């Protein structure tokens, strides 16, 4: 997110003709949203830090006590936590690059001057309007062992490939990846398409006069021209990959299954903090999660800034 | 999307390339559309037929056709009208109250002079980074403490003020020329009047973007309502689908009817307001 420089740097309030000072009006404007941000973001975030240092439970007759870094220690020593984190990375390692490139390919295609391109744009974008809970349900049926996906694979491999997708630890995550890309890629496509249309067409004209072929133009004009949008898409997709929750909760027979092969950090956090009502330990997972997301964002930014310099 | 013509590329000039492009886009269209077609046909046939013919292309034919039987079943079993009403109420309140609260905040940051303004800008940007998921556990605790589990307010209030939407409004208001507002001020209008009569009408695109994105996000919410609601009374649509999973045998016809009903409203809005929809999503990115 780039910070926009305010057009006036003066914070001296003006006197309004009606007598009410600008400061008072400003606070009236800021108060409703500000108090909600405090109550529903700042306070719970502070509470998460505090709870993560205690043995707080949702309902418990025992008194809450301060336990220092115990929650973090036991979480970091828990193989299930690492497994969940690994699953997020496994998911992200495929989805982030693939979905970004796929979205770019779609955007470039619907940006060509051919008849019917808006129809294709609509089709590629439509899954965005399908609520994830609905999308996951449809694909559960498609990924059924006797479902349409296997019908397709059996036809092209003559019956040699027909896994029980959602009940097989090797394949369950792949089913989730397919749903996620199907539902999400249209969003990125639209963002990249908007950026593509802002690349000045004179650049392409000049390049083709200089004899640059299509691939050369794509590399030297298109990609640098939409660099910021590409970075945005990459970063947002990474964060969304870390937040993966709906699909692994809804699609396998039990959330995060089979054998924890789709258990993500969020599934793990909800299981501990809500399922087992261990608020303290769940908060520790939340804080660890926040630190990881923050670190990823900072790493990506640094990497990107060096590129730019 | 700008009205500017897309640049002419190699594809535009060579007819062979054009046919390859059409072929690739058509294959991809099948990938994006077939699940939706499958959902619709499955909702129109008996439960046992859904799996029975799910491995052949016959799956896309609504035979044996049983009309709206599954839909009547689904509406009945899932208490659909209630759940749908809940979703509408929750998303509606989040969007409408959010538009008011976030635009007022964004406007104050962009245009009004007051001490603490720059601190608030920094705070809003910092808060964008905190994912909601990191707050879910303590928020659940807070909600339980005040006895708000299984209520509407716990599903609405935490989502009204949004740092991301405040920031969107802030950058939008910064981007519109000041001259009209200054003219109104010279005519003696106070800051409130300048906002409601001059700035708000100019910011219509920002309001449309935030309304669309806000509706899209809140309509699909699953994590939070699945934690804070237990009964059907206040549950929204995405969580309501759970009732079908608990009672075997799984009646896929009913489930698909439910997903059709859940998908239809947003799909209809999308097809009618396609331009605004696409513009809304596109402008969520350009500021990045």
Domain count of chain B? Answer: 2
Does residue A39 lie within any of the structural domains? no
Are both B15 and B41 inside the same structural domain? yes
CATH number reported for the structural domain that contains residue B92 in this entry: 1.10.3720.10
CATH number reported for the structural domain that contains residue A177 in this entry: 1.10.3720.10
Does residue A43 lie within any of the structural domains? no
Ordered alpha helix ranges (H), A159-226: 172-197, 201-209, 214-217, 223-225
Q: Looking at chain A, which residue has its C-alpha nearest residue B11?
A: A112
Would the pLDDT of B8 be above 80?
A: no
Q: Could you report the per-residue pLDDT of B44-86, keeping only the tens digit for each?
A: 988 888 877 777 777 787 778 888 888 998 888 888 999 999 9
Q: Could you report the per-residue pLDDT of A216-231, keeping only the tens digit for each?
A: 888 888 888 888 888 8
Are both B103 and B204 inside the same structural domain? yes
Would the pLDDT of B208 be above 80?
A: yes
Does residue A50 lie within any of the structural domains? no
Does residue A52 lie within any of the structural domains? no
In chain B, what residues touch A112 (CB-CB under 8 Å)?
6, 9, 11-12, 21
Q: Could you report the per-residue pLDDT of A21-52, keeping only the tens digit for each?
A: 888 899 999 999 999 999 999 999 999 999 99
Distance CA A247, CA A135 (A): 9
Does residue B247 lie within any of the structural domains? no
Are both B57 and B121 inside the same structural domain? no
Residue A276, pLDDT score: 87
Are both B163 and B231 inside the same structural domain? yes
- Mean pLDDT for chain B overall: 86
Minimum-distance CB partner of A25 among B18, B185, B191: B191
In chain B, what residues touch A56 (CB-CB under 8 Å)?
141
Mean pLDDT, residues B150-177 taken together: 93
In chain B, what residues touch A264 (CB-CB under 8 Å)?
none
Are both B184 and B99 inside the same structural domain? yes
Does residue B100 lie within any of the structural domains? yes
Q: Please give, one letter per residue, the 3-state secondary structure of chain B.
A: CCCCCCCCCHHHHCHHHHHHHHHHHHHHHHHHHHHHHHHHHHCCCCHHHHHHCCCCHHHHCCCCCCCCHHHHHHHHHCCHHHHHHHHHHHHHHHHHHHHHHHHHHHHHHHHCCCCCHHHHHHHHHHHHCCCCHHHHHHHHHHHHHCCCCCCCHHHHHHHCCCHHHHHHHHHHHHHCCCHHHHHHHHCCCCHHHHHHHHHHHHCHHHHHHHHHHHHHHHHCCCHHHHHHCCCCCCCCHHHHCCHHHHCCCCCHHHHHHHHHHHHHHHHHHHHHCHHHHHHHHHHHHHCC
Are both B85 and B62 inside the same structural domain? no
Residue B179 CB neighbour total at 10 angstroms: 8
Are both B108 and B201 inside the same structural domain? yes
Are both B221 and B110 inside the same structural domain? yes
Question: How many inter-chain contacts (A to B, CB under 8 Å) are there?
Answer: 362
Q: How far is B86 from chain A (nearest CA, A)?
A: 16
Q: How far is A232 from chain B (nearest CA, A)?
A: 6
Does residue B113 lie within any of the structural domains? yes
Domain count of chain A? Answer: 1
Does residue A6 lie within any of the structural domains? no
Does residue B245 lie within any of the structural domains? no
Residue A73, pLDDT score: 92
Are both B22 and B146 inside the same structural domain? no
Q: Write out the residue range of the structural domain in which residue A129 sits.
A: 70-308
Interacting residues of A132 by C-beta distance below 8 A, sequence separation 6+: A183, A246, A247, A250, B220, B222, B238
Would the pLDDT of B248 be above 70?
A: no
Structure tokens at A98: 């693939």
Distance CA B277, CA B262 (A): 19
Does residue A261 lie within any of the structural domains? yes
Distance CA A218, CA A105 (A): 11
Residue A19, pLDDT score: 52
Are both B61 and B133 inside the same structural domain? no
Does residue A24 lie within any of the structural domains? no
Q: Give the range among A42-56, A57-71, A94-108, A170-184 with minimum mean pLDDT.
A: A57-71
Does residue A176 lie within any of the structural domains? yes
Query: What ipTM was estimated for this complex?
Result: 0.86
Residue B96, pLDDT score: 97
Pick from B29, B47, B67: which residue ends a domain?
Answer: B67
Q: Write out the residue range of the structural domain in which residue B227 sits.
A: 79-240
């Amino acid at each position: 997110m780039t910070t926009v420089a305010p057009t006036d740097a003066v914070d001296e309030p003006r006197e309004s003709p009606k007598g009410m000072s600008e400061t008072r009006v400003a606070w009236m404007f800021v108060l409703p949203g500000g108090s909600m941000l405090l109550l529903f973001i700042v306070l719970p975030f502070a509470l998460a830090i505090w709870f993560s240092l205690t043995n707080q439970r949702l309902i418990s007759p025992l008194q809450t006590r301060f336990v220092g870094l115990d929650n973090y220690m036991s979480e970091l020593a828990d193989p299930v936590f690492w497994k969940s984190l690994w699953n997020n990375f496994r998911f992200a390692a495929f989805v982030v690059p693939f979905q970004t490139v796929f979205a770019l390919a779609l955007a470039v295609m619907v940006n060509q001057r051919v008849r019917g391109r808006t129809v294709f744009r609509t089709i590629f974008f439509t899954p965005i309007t399908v609520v994830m809970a609905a999308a996951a349900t449809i694909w559960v049926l498609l990924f059924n062992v006797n479902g349409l996906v296997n019908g397709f694979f059996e036809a092209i491999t003559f019956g040699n490939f027909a896994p029980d997708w959602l009940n097989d630890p090797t394949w369950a995550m792949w089913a989730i990846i397919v749903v996620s890309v199907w539902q999400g890629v249209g969003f990125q496509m639209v963002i990249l398409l908007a950026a593509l249309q802002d690349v000045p067409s004179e650049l392409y004209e000049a390049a083709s006069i200089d004899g640059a072929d299509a691939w050369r133009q794509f590399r030297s004009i298109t990609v640098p021209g939409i660099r910021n949008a590409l970075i945005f898409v990459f970063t947002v997709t990474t964060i969304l990959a870390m937040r993966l929750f709906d699909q692994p909760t809804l699609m396998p027979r039990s959330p995060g299954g089979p054998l924890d092969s789709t258990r993500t950090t969020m599934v793990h956090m909800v299981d501990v903090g809500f399922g087992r009502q261990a608020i303290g330990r769940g908060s520790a997972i939340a804080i660890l999660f926040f630190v990881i997301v923050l670190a990823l964002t900072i790493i990506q930014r640094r990497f990107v800034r060096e590129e730019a310099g | 999307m700008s009205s500017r013509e897309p640049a002419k590329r190699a594809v535009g000039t060579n007819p062979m390339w054009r046919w390859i492009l059409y072929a690739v886009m058509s294959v991809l269209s099948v990938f994006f559309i077939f699940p939706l077609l499958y959902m619709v046909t499955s909702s129109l046939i008996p439960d046992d037929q859904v799996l029975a013919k799910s491995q052949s292309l016959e799956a896309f034919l609504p035979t044996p056709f049983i009309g709206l039987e599954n839909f009547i079943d689904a509406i009945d079993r899932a208490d659909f009208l209630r759940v749908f009403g809940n979703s509408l109420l929750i998303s509606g309140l989040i969007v409408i109250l959010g538009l008011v609260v976030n635009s007022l905040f964004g406007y104050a940051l962009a245009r009004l002079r007051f001490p603490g303004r720059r601190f608030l800008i920094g705070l809003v940007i910092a808060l964008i980074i905190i994912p909601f998921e990191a707050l879910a556990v303590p928020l659940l605790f807070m909600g339980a403490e005040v006895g708000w589990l299984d209520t509407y307010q716990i599903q609405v209030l935490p989502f009204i003020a949004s740092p991301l939407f405040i920031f969107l409004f802030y950058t939008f208001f910064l981007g519109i020329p000041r001259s009209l507002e200054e003219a109104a001020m010279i005519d003696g209008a106070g800051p409130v009047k300048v906002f409601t009569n001059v700035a708000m009408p100019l910011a219509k695109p920002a309001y449309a973007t935030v309304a669309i994105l806000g509706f899209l996000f809140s309509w699909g919410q699953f994590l939070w309502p699945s934690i804070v609601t237990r009964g059907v009374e206040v549950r929204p649509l995405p969580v309501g689908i759970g009732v079908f999973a608990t009672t075997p045998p799984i009646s896929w016809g009913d489930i698909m009817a439910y997903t059709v009903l859940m998908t239809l409203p947003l799909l209809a809005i999308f097809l009618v307001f396609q331009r605004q929809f696409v513009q809304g999503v596109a402008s969520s990115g350009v500021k990045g």
